[in-house]
Structure 1
Amino acid sequence: MKIIILGAGRVGQAAAASLVSERNDITVIDTDGERLRELESRLDLRGVVGNGIDPAVLAEAGARDTDLLIACAAQDETNLVCAKVAQMQFNVPQCIARVRTNGFEDGSALLSREGFAVDHILCPENSLVRYISKLVEYPGALQVREFAGGRACLISTRARTGAPAVGQEIRLLRQQMPEVAMRIVAIYRRFADEPDRFVPCDGTTRIEPGDEVFALAGKERVPQVLAALRIRPGQPARQVRRIMMAGGGVVSERLARALAAQQGRFQLKIVERDADRCTELASSLPEEVLVLQGETSDEDLLAEEGIDDVDFFLALSGDDENNIMSCLLAKRMGARRVLALIDRLAYAELMHGTQIDIALTPAQAMLGELLAYTRRGDVQAVHSLRRGVAEALEIVARGDRKSSRVVGRRVEDLPLPPAVHMGLIVRGLPDSEAPPPVEGEAPPAPPGEPEVIIPRSHTVIESNDHVVFFLPHKRLVREVEKLFRVSATFF
C-alpha cells in the first residue's frame, strides 16, 4: 500500500516505523528537513520537505497515486486542510486525520466528502482515556485490548506467586478451571541482565512467577482470568477506588470527567502546579473531583493526601522526566499501582520491568486504531503489543468452502504459521455484508446472543466468524491476511 504521512512528530514516526515494517511504500512530509533526514537514515522511507497543505508538496510526495493519507501534524487545522486538498486535487481514496478538538466525530457532515473529506478521526487524548479506563476497570492488568465490539478481550498481567494458575502447566488449567474459558497465547519471561524473552506456549509450558502472561477470553471472564494469575485463593480481589492524577492537562481532565460519570465509585484527585489551571479545572469538572495545587514531587503533599491509600497513581503531565520521578516517588511511598505517560519511546522501554507498573506512550494507545485502516481484507481490529513487536488481530472469515481456504475447515487443517496463535472465535455477530431482504419476503429472524468459542483442533470455521489471533512477530500479519482472503478461483 502507498501511504503518505503528514508530520514527523512522535505519532508520525511511530506510524511510519510500524507501517514500514509491513513493507508499505511510505512517504513522510514535514517542514523540518533535519528531522526527515534522521528518519530516512533509520527507516526505509522517503521524506519530502514542505507544507502538507501545498498541492505542489503533495504532488511531489506522490499524492496522485497514493492509497492513504495519514495527517498527524501538530495543528488540527493543518491536518483537516491537507485532507481536503488531497481529496479535491488528487482524489486520494482514504484520509485519516489527527484532531484534538472535541466536536469532530466519524460520520459527521463536517467530515464528509463535501466537508473536510476525512474518513476517520484520531484523537490521542481520547485514545489514552479509553486505554486507561480499561486499566481502571480491570485492576492488575497491564494491557486490556477489546475485540468483536467489546465481547472479547486480550489482557496481559504479571503472574504472582501463590495464584492458582502460577506454577501450573497450561494444559492443566482447563481441568482445574473448566468454568473459565480462556486461551493463554504468549508468555514473556524475565531473565537476569537481559530483556524479557518470548516463550512459545503449548500444553507443557509452565507459568512462572514474574511472567508477563497474555490471555484471550470473553469480556465477562476477564476478572476470573486475572484472579487465576494474580490472587491467592481466599484473598479478596481489591477494586480501584482511590485515584490520584499528576498533571492537569487535557488527558487528566477528560479521564476525570469519564470516571466521575460513574457516580460514587471513585475518589478522584488531580494535582496541578499552575494556579490558573487549577481554577479552570475546579470550575469545569464535577464537584466530586478534588483539584489540588502543588507538585507531585513534594513528599509532604503526597503524604498529606494519603498516597499510601491510593489504588492507582497516574502521572499524566506533558513532562516525561516529571512523570517518571513522580511515579517512582509515589510507589516508594505506598501507592499500589503507578502509570507514567511517557512521550519518548526510548524512555518507555527503559522503564519496562522497573518499579513503574505501566509505562504508556500516546502512540501506543492509538496505533491500533490507525493500523486497522491500513490492513487488507476483513480486518476488524488491530492492536500493537510489546512496543510494536507483537500484534493481536481480529479478522472475519468470509465466503464458503469453494471461495475460502478457511471456511468449512477444521482448525487443525489450516495452514497457519507455527508461531501464530488462534486465540478465540466470536460467532453470531451481525453480518455487515449480508444482502438486504428481498422486498415482499419476511425479514430473517434476529440472531441469538453471540458466542465466544475457545477453538480446539476439531473446531470448524464458519462464515462471519470473528477470529482473533496473537502474532509474536509483525512479519506474520501478511500470511494470516492472505489465508483469509476470499477468491472466486480458489479451486
Structure 2
Amino acid sequence: MIVGAGAVGRTIAENLADGHDVIVVDQDEDLVEELTYELDVLAIAGDGTEISTLREAEIDEADIVIASTDDDETNVVICGATKTESEAFTIARVRRRTLLETWQGSEGAFGVDFMVCTDLLTAQAIFRVAGLPAARDVDMFAGGLVRMAEFEIREGSPVAGQTVKEADRYDSLTFAAVFRDDEMLVAKGETVMCEGDRLVVIGSPESITKFAGEVACIEDNGTKEVVVVGASEIGFQAAREFEEHGHELRLIEQDPDRAREAAERLPNTMVLQSDATDTDFLLREHIDEADVLVAALDSDEKNLLAALLAHRVGVERTVAVIENVEYAALFETVGVDVVINPREETAEEIVRFTRAARTEKVAMLEHDRAEVIEIEVGPGSTLTGKPIAEATQDLPEGVVIGAISRGGDLITPRGTTVVRPGDHVVVFVDAAVLDEVIELL
C-alpha cells in the first residue's frame, strides 16, 4: 500500500505494479482516477491518516505500507495508524534529517519500521557525483567495493569512436550499456561509443576514477574546491557532506538569518551572505576557481540561473537540484552538467525494500529506463554453479553482470567466471525485464 501519489508515490507504484498487488491511497480524486486508468493498481480516494480509509484499503492484508505524502508528520501518523490495524512493515518518507535522527535514537519509534530522509539522500548523491569528472550519476554497491557510474562522452574524449572492446583496457571495469538519444544499447564488444552518448560502467572505485579522467579528457586529482549555492536543507546537508570529507568549501546564502545559522553549524566552511545571481559578486569572490558549483536554492528556476551564471564566469562543472523531473532534459540541454531530483533518490531507496529479500541495493538510471541492482544469489539462482557465458543464456536480453563481491573481494566477471551461492552480484537490467530477471536471480 502506498499512501500519497505524488512524484515519489507514483514512481514507486509504476515500479511495482507489474510484480505486486499495489494499492494507492490519495486525497486527490482526479489523481486517483488518473492512476486507475494508467497503472495496474487499485487506487482509492481518501485520507491515509484515517482508520476508516485504511480499512477500506484492506490494511490488514498489506505486507508493506509506504507513507510518501509531502508532509513529514502526516507520514509518521500514517505509519502509527497502520500499526494499530496491521502487522505490515512501515516505511515513512521525511525531508528533515532531525526527524530521522530522532527516529534512529528512539529505536524505531512512531510505528515506523524504516525511515527515508529525502534531503540527506539527495545531499549524499550530490557528494558522490560532484567528485567524479563527467559523471551524471554515481552509486556504490557491496559496501563500497563496487561503484556504478554513468558518464557523458564529451567532444574530443579518447573513447569517442572506439568500440567497447578497444576501450576495455581496465582490469576491474565492466561496460554495461550505452544510452544514445532515446535508445538504449547493451554494451557488447563491437558497440561503438560516440560523442554525446551516456555510458554506464561498473567496477572498482579506482578503475572508475581512472576511466572518468579519460572520458572527461582531464587528469582527475579529486574535487578540491566546492561552492554550494543556497543554505536550504539540501544545500546545508550537501555542504556538511563536503566539509566532513575535507573539501575546501564556500556556501553562498542570501538570507542573513540562514547564513548566520549555517556559519555556526559549519565551522570549516566559508559562508558568504550574498546573491549568487550577482555576476559582479561571483567574479569578485573568484567563484570561477571552484572545481564544482552546486545549486540548491528553493526553486528550479533559480537553480538553473545560478548554474548557468557559474558556467558563464568559468566554473567547469555544475550540479543543480530540481524538483520537477520534467525539467531534467531542459537543464542538460542548456548546459547544466548534472541534475539531481530528490524524489527519484527517495524512490530508489524505498523500492529496494519492496524487492526480493536478497536485493541489497537499487540504482535507477535515465529516469527508470534501467536499473543497477545488487543481489545475493542463492543455490537456486540461474547464475549459480555455471560459467557466466553459459548462465546468461538463460536470462533475457538487456542484462549485464557488472561485478561480483565474494567474501569482501571484488571479482570482475568474465565468461568463464563461476558464481557461487552467497556471492553478491551487481547487475545492469533493462527495466522492461526487471521482474523476470529478479525472479531468475
Q: How does 1:342-491 map to 2 (within 5 A)?
A: 342-399=322-379, 403-414=380-391, 415-428=394-407, 450-472=408-430, 474-484=431-441
Whole-Å separation in 2 of the counterparts to 1:330 and 1:40: 44
Partner of 2:260 in structure 1?
279
Cα distance in 2 between the residues matched to 1:5 and 1:172:
47
TM-score (normalizing by structure 2)? 0.92
Once the two structures are superposed, residues 244-299 of structure 1 have per-residue CA deviations (whole angstroms, 9 ceiling, x without a partner) of: 22221111112212222234x31x2222222222222222221x322223322222
Report the secondary structure of 2:330's partner residue. helix
Task: Please report how far the alpha carbon of residue 140 of structure 1 lies from its aligned counterpart in structure 2 after TM superposition.
Answer: 2.7
Deviation at 1:427, TM superposition (A): 1.3
Q: Which residue of 2 aligns with 1:97?
A: 92
Pick closer, same or farther for the CA change 1:477–1:386 going to 2, 3 Å: same
| The one of 233, 238, 247 aligned to 1:250 | 233
1:343 match: secondary structure: coil
Report the equivalent of 2:196: 210
Task: Say if 2:52 is the partner of 1:56.
Answer: yes
Using the alignment, how far apart are the partners of 1:404 and 1:128 within structure 2?
Answer: 34
How far residue 83 of structure 1 moved from its aligned partner, in angstroms, is: 1.1
1:340 Cα deviation after fit: 1.4
Q: Is the 8 A contact 1:106 1:121 kept in 2?
A: no
Contact 2:288 2:314 in 1 (8 A): yes
% same residue: 30
Does the alignment pair 1:337 with 2:310?
no
- For residues 208 and 173 of structure 1, the distance between their equivalents in structure 2, rounded to whole angstroms, comes to 12
Residue deviations 1:334-373 (CA, integer Å, cap 9, x gap): 1111111110111123323430111111012222211111
Deviation readout 1:29-88 (Å, 9 max, x if unpaired): 233334433444543433333322211110112212112110122332222221122122
Tell me the residue number matched to 1:269.
250
Counterpart residue type for residue 86 of structure 2: F
Counterpart check, 1:80 vs 2:80: no
- Answer yes or no: is the 8 Å Cα contact 2:321–2:341 preserved in 1: yes
**SS of 1:302 mapped into structure 2:** helix
Taking structure 1 as the reference length, what is the TM-score of the superposition? 0.83
The 1:290–1:109 alpha-carbon spacing in structure 2 relative to 1, beyond 3 Å, is: closer
Say whether the 8 Å CA contact 1:180–1:224 is kept in structure 2: no
Cα distance in 1 for partners of 2:237, 2:409 equals: 34
May I ask how many residue pairs the two structures share in their alignment?
Answer: 438
- Structure 1 spans left out of the alignment, 5+ residues: 190-194, 429-449, 485-491
Partners of 1:411 and 1:143 lie apart in 2 by 27
Asked if 1:13 is matched to 2:4, the reply is no
Given that residues 244 and 269 in structure 1 are in contact (C-alpha distance below 8 angstroms), is that contact kept between their aligned partners in structure 2? Answer: yes
Amino acid in the other structure paired with 1:95: T
Helix, strand or coil at the partner of 2:47: coil
Q: What is the match of residue 188 of structure 1?
A: 179
1:73-114 CA distances to partner (integer Å, 9 max, x unpaired)?
23322222211221221222x1111132425369957354xx
Does the residue aligned with 1:102 lie in a helix, a strand or coil? helix
Find the residue that maps to 1:373 and give its secondary structure: helix
State whether residues 315 and 340 of structure 1, in contact with CA within 8 Å, keep that contact through their aligned partners in structure 2. Answer: yes
What is the CA–CA distance in structure 2 between the aligned matches of 1:8 and 1:359, rounded to whole Å?
Answer: 23
SS of corresponding position for 2:354: coil
Aligned alpha-carbon RMSD (Å): 2.2
The one-letter code sitting in structure 2 at the alignment partner of 1:228 is E
The answer for unaligned runs of 5 or more in structure 2 is: none
Q: Structure 2: how far apart are the matches of 1:272 and 1:33?
A: 39
Residues 107 and 66 of structure 1: is their aligned pair in 2 closer, same or farther, counting only changes over 3 Å? same
Equivalent position amino acid for 2:419 in 1? I
- Which whole-Å deviations, capped at 9, do the CAs of 1:449-485 have from their partners, x for residues lacking one? x22222222211111111111113x12112212212x
Higher helix share: 2
Query: Does 2:114 align with 1:133?
Result: no
Q: Which amino acid aligns with 1:280?
A: E
Change (3 A) 1:352 1:405: same
Of the structure 1 ranges 386-395 and 276-285, higher mean CA displacement relative to structure 2 is found in 276-285
Whole-Å separation in 2 of the counterparts to 1:319 and 1:243: 21
1:228 to 208, 214, 221: 214
- Structure 1 CA distance, aligned partners of 2:330 and 2:20? 29
Which letter maps to 1:96? I
Matched, 1:259 2:242: yes
Distance 1:259 1:101 in 2: 17
What does residue 322 of structure 1 align with? 302
Q: From 281, 288, 292, give the equivalent of 1:301.
A: 281
